Amino acid sequence: MTAAVLELDDALATYDPVLGLEVHVELNTKSKMFCGCPTEFGAPPNTQTCPVCLGLPGALPVVNAKAVESAIKIGLALNCEIAEWCRFARKNYFYPDMPKNFQTSQYDEPIAFNGWTEVVVDGETYRIEIERAHMEEDTGKSTHVGGATGRIHGASHSLVDYNRAGIPLIEIVTKTIEVPPAKAAAVARAYVSMLRDLLFALGVSDVRMDQGSLRCDANVSLKPHGSTVLGTRTETKNVNSFRSVERAVTYEITRQAAVLSSGGKVLQETRHWHEDTGITTSGREKSDADDYRYFPEPDLVPVAPSREWVEELRATLPEAPSVRRARLQEDWGFTDLEMRDVINGNALEPIVATIELGVTPAAAKKWWLGELARSANESGQDLDALGVGPAEVAEVQKLVDDGTLNDKLARQVFEGLLAGEGTPAEIIEKRGLALVSDDSALLEAIDRAIAANPDVVEKVNSGKPAAAGALIGAVMKDMRGQADAAKVRQLLNEKLGI
Amino acid sequence: MSDLTRKTAAELAELMTSGQASSVEITQAHLDRIGAVDGDVHAFLHVDTEGALAQAKAVDGKRAAGEQLSPLAGVPLALKDVLTQEGVPTTAGSKILEGWKPPYDSTVVKRLKAAGIVILGKTNMDEFAMGSSTENSAYGTTHNPWDLGRIPGGSGGGSSAAISAYEAPLAIGTDTGGSIRQPGAFTGTVGVKPTYGGTSRYGLIALASSLDTPGPCARTTLDAALLHEAIAGYDPMDSTSINQPVPAVVEAARNGDVSGLRIGVVKELGGEGYQPGVEARFHEAVELLTKLGAEVVEVSCPHFEYALPAYYLILPSEASSNLAKFDAMRYGLRVGDDGTNSAETVTSLTREAGFGAEVKRRIILGTHALSSGYYDAYYGQAQKVRTLIARDFAKAYEQVDVLVSPATPTTAFAIGDRIDDPIAMYKNDLCTIPSNLAGNAAASFPCGLADEDGLPVGFHVMAPVMRDDLLYKVGAALESALAEQWGGVLMTKAPELEVTR
């Protein structure tokens, strides 16, 4: 069922969007949050469980110190204060994929709070206030079987995999994000993308959105221009790519605007994002009356990180993203405009990785912002989901550098890579793309060009050597582009005696 | 050989060390005794005959091979059915866990096994330890061996009845508000609630996590101390476990010298509502300790009067959350799974059928107390009272080394007497609850029989955190002084049970 939506411009003409983002990060600790079970992704169902994460009677949790360390690092990287003393709480509700029927989480005493970070959109820097980052455990994973939609509605039965139950999670919650309305969705995307880079740099998570190790819930509400009263918000779940974040936020803005402008009321509810159709649908109705009966977890003792430890961890933090961006721009010699394109194209990390493999900054930028960005755009994918990574880019560039390919042929190799035709070598072989380096073949083509263009030869002979360019073009055409232009020029010049 | 079941654990250990008896013989003697009297007493929910004899045989084998063994190796024990033992049915007295065999050992069981202590079986208890009589067990009431028409106390009535019926020389209980000490008092036995965190809760099916404490039950102070030492100590699997050496409880139990010990009689724990015979025996015991050189003063703990209401907010709150895991999804009872009901309905039907009335009462109470809008008034206030009670203790311990009171206001009451009056039932624990709220160590020692009914009276001793040794010091002094009057421990005055097999 598709809801009525307004055009974004029409929506923003009347309403200001108000955003809040909750990002769940699965930590990459070797063991779970409260027990020693392994956390590896993709193991057969229910093989990574024990009495603790199955919630068996009598079992007790013990906090994973490494997870606390990661939480503190994340808090510090987001410029948060780190609690001197904080506790876990129980969030009580019944659900079959939650073994204890309460989630051990943090409630009013998060380990990190009052932080901020920055994102860059279209060259503008936006500050995003961080409310808190807190520790919690993941639930099991339910699979609903027998229904048409894979949702619980209409399913005949459900399967629960508790391998995920107890995986350490950090939930990062922003304060209300206030940016120019037209930028809201892009800022949301940039924020999640920035978080991914930050968490990757910290080394605390695999940050794979496709595997659910980075999950974003987007809270969206609208208020009429000039109003200070917040509208009713929806919480859109299951937004699993950067691009989806932007699309889901945009969709909710346009949907809510349609509801409001037709005199309706926005329901406070969770909504599900559908990647394929690009819409959200109504989930569970949620109200402030949801009562989780939080109370301090009596099975755990308070977490009280010493200030010395916090400072030790602070000293290990990688460079802040804005500082790093400035440093990289200088190192690479990019103009502000070039750097903005890199950031906007989400190409910073791939370019860094490509340069590390020995490619020049200019070449790395050329491929990532050219062929690859274009393809990502066309197919609606994130740049890092293309299946072509820094290693492939470096390999192709090496072939250009050693004269096997020219830029034009290289572009065709990328085309093959994106189509999944194999390695660069295989694609060159299959598509017959290598430059012809055999002089005799080139000389024959040169002879044909001279024979076919007596007027051009005339011009050259009459003292206009620049006219030879047309002959080079003809030779390249004859060779179907698979010739090194510099080599052709050299051979032609020799032939023409210039 | 005189009846092995009448021996203390220390005596049995000596018989084995000197080669006069084997663990198999001792274990068999107790299994026989269980067979003979448990039809009337109903202390056990499950007797693990095969497992116990196999354990006994293993210990005998090790002894024959000259291995170094723990002091209690080969001595049999009764285990409260609230602690998990791998492969052995564990119900916590509830229908909802009927047939469940845990896949893992609790830390207490691990340590018992490591010490070579033979586990005879699982003892009856009030459902999920909610109760003071075992009448809330889903599997029937345990009878007090002193008078089979009376309750043995609760929740750990099965454990205390087992040792006072000579079905086991030792038992494990768990104490959340008095569930070791009150049954100890009612059965004329020793019951010790160690310092919270002094014994591990791992594998203890939680009632109230911030209060539950496993501890020893025995017929003598020394036996209790030996068992205490075997199960106590830091456990990395329990975050609330205290990482300090176990107090020197055995040494204290062997040397009950109270001269110079400062003893505070808690003013608030006595008077109205206390049975005269209980008060008489208590005060005589205090006088006895004075004669033995203790300095006795009266101290006031003004906030103790709020302990009971605070306890009945904190306990149900934690319990309502702890018991949420019983949802029919992974283990235990499952009702209504006919292919048409949703998971939610099956959970609901199972909890309706599987939980008893008292459990439901406390789940409802706790759910309400934690609800938004009520949390501050109930749970929040109760936690403040808890702090005030802890301060009362701290202040008292500036003046004295230990505090004392009767263990219970009355002696054991008749089966059915209080089952319809929860408040009257809850008042059983007036004296014992403050120590749980403060996490202190406390114990009940037999101090005589009440004149009115000839039933045992318990002498309650409370000591600061990790000073469990002081409990044993007082208990040992009292025990040896009273033994001169009685010609042995109080248990020797218990009536003989009719052997029914």
Give catalytic residues of B, as residue numbers: 80, 155, 179
Q: Which residue has the higher pLDDT, B267 or A420?
A: B267
What is the spatial distance between Cα B371 and Cα B377, in angstroms, rounded to a whole number? 10
State the Rg of chain B over Cα: 21
Average pLDDT over residues B254-262: 96
Is the pLDDT at A167 greater than 90, yes or no? yes
Check the CA dihedral B115-B121-B125-B129 and report its sign. Answer: positive
Chain B residue nearest residue A94, CA to CA: B324
Residue B347: inside a domain: no
Give yes or no for a contact between B126 and B159, defined as CB atoms under 8 angstroms apart: no
**Chain A, chain B: beta-carbon pairs less than 8 Å apart:** 99
Query: How many structural domains is chain B composed of?
Result: 1
- Three-state secondary structure readout of B301-341: CHHHHHHHHHHHHHHHHHHHHHHHHCCCCCCCCCCCCCCCC
Chain A residues near residue B321 by CB distance under 8 angstroms: 90, 92, 102, 293, 295
Q: Cβ–Cβ of B321/A51 closer than 8 Å? A: no
Chain A residues near residue B331 by CB distance under 8 angstroms: 56-57
Q: Cβ–Cβ of B321/A158 closer than 8 Å? A: no
Interface test with A, best of B327, B350, B367, B371 (most A CBs within 10 A): B327
Q: Beta strand B402-406 with B262-266: parallel, antiparallel or unpaired?
A: parallel
Give yes or no for a contact between B361 and B420, defined as CB atoms under 8 angstroms apart: no
**Which of A90, A94, A291 faces B371 most closely, judged by CB atoms?**
A291
Instruction: List the one residue out of A78, A77, A74, A86 whose CA is nearest residue A28.
Output: A74
Q: What pLDDT is stored for residue A2 in this prediction?
A: 60
What is the spatial distance between Cα A217 and Cα A269, in angstroms, rounded to a whole number? 12
State the nearest Cα–Cα gap between B154 and chain A, in angstroms.
20
A209 confidence band (pLDDT: 50, 70, 90): confident
Is the pLDDT at B501 greater than 70, yes or no? no
Q: Cβ–Cβ of A298/B344 closer than 8 Å? A: no
Chain A residues near residue B236 by CB distance under 8 angstroms: 62
Residue B498: inside a domain: no
- Three-state secondary structure readout of chain A: CCCCCCCHHHHHHHEEEEEEEEEEEECCCCECCCCCCECCCCCCCCCCCCCCCCCCCCCCCCCCHHHHHHHHHHHHHCCCEECCCECCEEEECCCCCCCCCEEEECCCCCCEEEEEEEEEECCEEEEEEEEEEEEEECCCEEEEECCCCCCCCCCCEEEEECCCCCCEEEEEEECCECCCHHHHHHHHHHHHHHHHHHHHHHCCCCCCHHHCCEEEEEEEEEEECCCCCCCCCEEEEEECCHHHHHHHHHHHHHHHHHHHHCCCCCCCEEEEEECCCCEEEEEEECCCCCCCCCEECCCCCCECCCHHHHHHHHHCCCCCHHHHHHHHHHHHCCCHHHHHHHHHCCCHHHHHHHHHCCCCHHHHHHHHHHHHHHHHHHHCCCHHHCCCCHHHHHHHHHHHHCCCCCHHHHHHHHHHHHCCCCCHHHHHHHHCCCCECCHHHHHHHHHHHHHHCHHHHHHHHCCCHHHHHHHHHHHHHHCCCCECHHHHHHHHHHHHCC
Give yes or no for a contact between A363 and A357, defined as CB atoms under 8 angstroms apart: no
Residue B331: inside a domain: no
Side chain identity at residue B496, one-letter code: E
Rounded to 5 degrees, φ, ψ at B183 are -60, -35
What residue numbers bound the domain in which B437 lies? 4-304+386-493
Residue B318: inside a domain: no
Side chain identity at residue A366, one-letter code: K
Residue B227: inside a domain: yes
Residue B100: inside a domain: yes
Q: Cβ–Cβ of A92/B321 closer than 8 Å? A: yes
A16 confidence band (pLDDT: 50, 70, 90): very high
* Host H or E run for residue B174: strand B170-175
By the CB < 8 Å criterion, does B347 face chain A?
yes
In three-state secondary structure terms, B298 is: strand
- For chain B, the first-to-last Cα distance in angstroms comes to 21
State the nearest Cα–Cα gap between A89 and chain B, in angstroms.
11
What is the spatial distance between Cα A394 and Cα A357, in angstroms, rounded to a whole number? 6
Residue B363: inside a domain: no
* B residues 301-340 closer than 8 Å to A (CB): 317-318, 320-321, 324-327, 329-331
Q: Cβ–Cβ of B240/A301 closer than 8 Å? A: yes
Helices A390-401 and A407-418, packing angle to 10 deg: 150
Average pLDDT over residues A38-46: 94
Give the CA diameter of chain A: 100
Chain B residue nearest residue A303, CA to CA: B239
Interface test with A, best of B209, B211, B325 (most A CBs within 10 A): B325
- pLDDT tens figures, B297-353: 999 999 999 999 999 999 999 999 999 999 999 999 999 999 889 899 999 999 999
Q: What pLDDT is stored for residue B1 in this prediction?
A: 44
- pLDDT tens figures, B302-312: 999 999 999 99
By the CB < 8 Å criterion, does B209 face chain A?
yes
Collect all residues with Cβ–Cβ distance below 8 Å to A488 and sequence separation of at least 6.
Answer: A442, A446, A472, A475, A476, A479
Q: What pLDDT is stored for residue A487 in this prediction?
A: 79
Average pLDDT over residues B449-476: 98
Chain B residue nearest residue A35, CA to CA: B237
By the CB < 8 Å criterion, does B94 face chain A?
no
Rounded to 5 degrees, φ, ψ at B485 are -70, -40
Q: What pLDDT is stored for residue A455 in this prediction?
A: 86
* A residues 156-185 closer than 8 Å to B (CB): 158, 160
Is the pLDDT at A286 greater than 70, yes or no? no
**Which of B239, B317, B330 faces A299 most closely, judged by CB atoms?**
B239
**Which of B236, B324, B331 faces A92 most closely, judged by CB atoms?**
B324
Q: Cβ–Cβ of B201/A298 closer than 8 Å? A: no
What is the spatial distance between Cα B157 and Cα B42, in angstroms, rounded to a whole number? 10
State the Rg of chain A over Cα: 29
Is the pLDDT at B172 greater than 90, yes or no? yes
- pLDDT tens figures, B405-453: 999 999 999 999 988 888 888 888 999 999 999 999 999 999 999 999 9
The encoded tokens of residue A309 equal: 């430890």
Interface test with A, best of B106, B314, B370 (most A CBs within 10 A): B370
The lowest-confidence range among A50-54, A86-90, A408-412 is: A408-412
The encoded tokens of residue B137 equal: 């067990």
Give yes or no for a contact between B215 and B192, defined as CB atoms under 8 angstroms apart: yes
**Domains of chain A by start residue, with CATH:** 8-312 (no CATH), 319-431 (no CATH), 439-496 (1.10.10.410)
Give yes or no for a contact between B45 and B123, defined as CB atoms under 8 angstroms apart: yes
Residue B375: inside a domain: no
What is the spatial distance between Cα B38 and Cα B162, in angstroms, rounded to a whole number? 8
Collect all residues with Cβ–Cβ distance below 8 Å to B349 and sequence separation of at least 6.
Answer: B335, B336, B341
Collect all residues with Cβ–Cβ distance below 8 Å to A487 and sequence separation of at least 6.
Answer: A437, A442
State the nearest Cα–Cα gap between A58 and chain B, in angstroms.
4
Q: Which range, A64-78, A345-359, A441-455, is most confident?
A: A64-78
Chain B residue nearest residue A288, CA to CA: B372
Q: What pLDDT is stored for residue A461 in this prediction?
A: 83
Average pLDDT over residues A476-485: 79
Instruction: List the one residue out of A55, A165, A51 whose CA is nearest residue B106.
Output: A51
Chain B residues near residue A31 by CB distance under 8 angstroms: none
The domain that holds B412 is classified in CATH as 3.90.1300.10
Mean per-residue pLDDT over chain B, rounded: 96
- pLDDT tens figures, A334-356: 998 898 888 877 888 899 999 99
Average pLDDT over residues B227-243: 98
Give yes or no for a contact between A268 and A287, defined as CB atoms under 8 angstroms apart: yes
Check the CA dihedral A351-A355-A361-A363 and report its sign. Answer: negative
Chain A residues near residue B386 by CB distance under 8 angstroms: none
What is the spatial distance between Cα B102 and Cα B89, in angstroms, rounded to a whole number? 7
By the CB < 8 Å criterion, does A59 face chain B?
yes
Other CB atoms within 10 A of residue B278 CB? 27
Chain A residues near residue B125 by CB distance under 8 angstroms: none
A438 confidence band (pLDDT: 50, 70, 90): confident
B207 confidence band (pLDDT: 50, 70, 90): very high
Chain B residues near residue A294 by CB distance under 8 angstroms: 370
Give yes or no for a contact between A252 and A234, defined as CB atoms under 8 angstroms apart: yes
Q: What pLDDT is stored for residue B2 in this prediction?
A: 58
